[in-house]
Amino acid sequence: MKTILVVTSLLLMAIACTDRVSDDVRDAETMRDAGAASSDTGLIADSAASDAGALPDVTDASDASEPSEDADAAGPVDAVDAEDAAGRPDAVDAEDAAGPLDAIDAEDAAGPLDAIDAEDVGSTDQSSARDAAPPDATAIDGGATAGDAACGSRCTGCVPEGPLVVDSSRAVRHSSLKMDGAGKTHVAYYDLDSHELRYATNAAGSWRSVVVAQGSDVGQYASLGIDAAGHMHIACYDADSSDLRYATNAGGTFMTQAIDTTGYVGSDTSLALDTAGHVHISYYAIAEGLKYASNRSGSWRTEVADATIGVGEYSSLVLDSTGTVVISYYDLVNGSLKVATSTGAGAWRRSIVDAAGNVGQYSAIGVDRANNLHVSYYQSSSANLRYATNAGGAWQATTIDSGGDVGKFSSLAVDENDKVHISYYDATNAGLKYATNAPGGWASSTLDGGDLRAFVGQYTSIALGAATVNISYVDVVSGELKYIARCR
């Protein structure tokens, strides 16, 4: 069955080409023309090819008969109406789309858990004088970063850090960063050279990295979570078997297992934990659409959240204070940003958030204290960073940054004052950018790069410390995993 699916998907991808391959390849060609090393360019092209999950622009007949959940819900600031702007109503009914929960037993799917001892595979200490070499962050106006000006009393004792190199010996992709309760930083990422899932932390005082999973091509789309006990939980894609995989060190050493092996599944992962420590994962399946997996019931179970072919890439998952699961994702068929909300018993309510042009790639979702949702994403038709929220009741969307080709690889966090912080990539100037509305209105700044000397700022992941904004990201030419912290 997988053979039939992959042949079909390859034929479809030959017809419809997404930005995921062309963006990185175009960046690589630019660097090559500027005299960059061609060997690194090859790595960029390889990474982009592995990311491609493109499907053709086809319409689902079932969509034609079902209206969107709420026409006003798709009404961004740009006066986008769900029916008029998207041209099609929302997704199919959750009952028909998902059907009953599909129970998956980890033992049967993956065989015995594969134990990997971090000590046995070795670790590397990446903290050195080299880390002090990169210049300090520069803002657009040449002054403090956007968050520094509004930092106030929180910044007492706050020490900015970086940009610094966390891992310089690898061709890194797909970083995911989280902060623990002690203010230490943890990053899961993919090593393109050795096809390994890796994990790095500065919890011991200096940056150290270990192998989490090896022996196959595993680790793309790594997404990290930390439970209340400080244990790591990582979801990622296994490219060798085309499965969704999960790793944790809750037992002392990292153990991995396959969670979903039904067809070509597991890319575009996003992981979050609830207050009880249960794991929730959103991901993309080529033949099924947007999927969701959780061990909340005591064993791993999966279900389809939006059963439309071509829907579900760039997924991002969050849980609100009631434990409700909400997922933002891209609808390739209609070129729109959508949100799916779990309503229980395998049912999902879906809404069109923004359909102004081709929007919704690189989505990242967060929730505030009032359970209002906040989403950052890329508008490929205008090459802008967009932001949408339902804090006012109906979804409202606006452009945050339109200064060149900006907004890819966006990552979002909401602070204790319900202010939003977004990291993203500036493809025009090849730099890492940061935007926040903490000062009152939206302000953006360049934190690293931006001078076309290096392609830094892809695969960003943002998390908030007690007084800091913390971001992991990648220099795709050198292959380095980088990190920066700024006062907020």
Question: pLDDT tens digits for 297-349?
Answer: 999 999 999 999 899 999 999 999 999 999 999 999 999 999 999 998 899 99
Q: Please give the average per-residue pLDDT across 457-475, as a whole number.
A: 97
In the block, tokens 């993309």 appear at 284
- Rounded Cα distance, 54 and 94, in Å: 24
Residue 243 has pLDDT above 90, yes or no: yes
Mean confidence (pLDDT) of the chain: 77
Give the pLDDT confidence of 46-103 residue by residue, as tens digits: 333 333 333 333 333 333 333 334 333 333 333 333 333 333 333 333 333 333 333 3
Structure tokens at 90: 């929302």
pLDDT greater at residue 400 or residue 31: 400
Confidence of residue 215 (pLDDT cuts 50, 70, 90): confident
Q: Please give the average per-residue pLDDT across 141-166, as a whole number.
A: 63
Vertex 132 angle, CA 203 and 225, to 5°: 30
- Rounded Cα distance, 263 and 162, in Å: 42
Confidence of residue 154 (pLDDT cuts 50, 70, 90): low
pLDDT at 2: 46
Q: Please give the average per-residue pLDDT across 382-400, as a whole number.
A: 97
Estimate to the nearest angstrom the gap between the alpha carbon of 109 and the chain centroid.
25
pLDDT at 138: 29
- Rounded Cα distance, 362 and 375, in Å: 10
- Rounded Cα distance, 62 and 38, in Å: 47
Confidence of residue 464 (pLDDT cuts 50, 70, 90): very high
Q: Please give the average per-residue pLDDT across 365-371, as a whole number.
A: 98
Residue 407 has pLDDT above 70, yes or no: yes
pLDDT at 288: 96
- Rounded Cα distance, 456 and 481, in Å: 10
Q: Please give the average per-residue pLDDT across 350-361, as a whole number.
A: 97
Residue 145 has pLDDT above 50, yes or no: no
- Of 2.120.10.10, 3.40.309.10, 1.10.260.40, 2.60.40.10, the CATH number of 95-487 is 2.120.10.10
Percent above pLDDT 70 for the chain: 68
Confidence of residue 244 (pLDDT cuts 50, 70, 90): very high
Domain ranges of the chain: 95-487
Strand order of the sheet with strand 208-213? 123-125, 208-213, 196-201, 185-191, 172-179
Q: Please give the average per-residue pLDDT across 445-460, as a whole number.
A: 92
Percent above pLDDT 90 for the chain: 64
Enter the pTM of the model.
Answer: 0.74
Give the pLDDT confidence of 118-137 residue by residue, as tens digits: 333 333 343 333 333 333 33
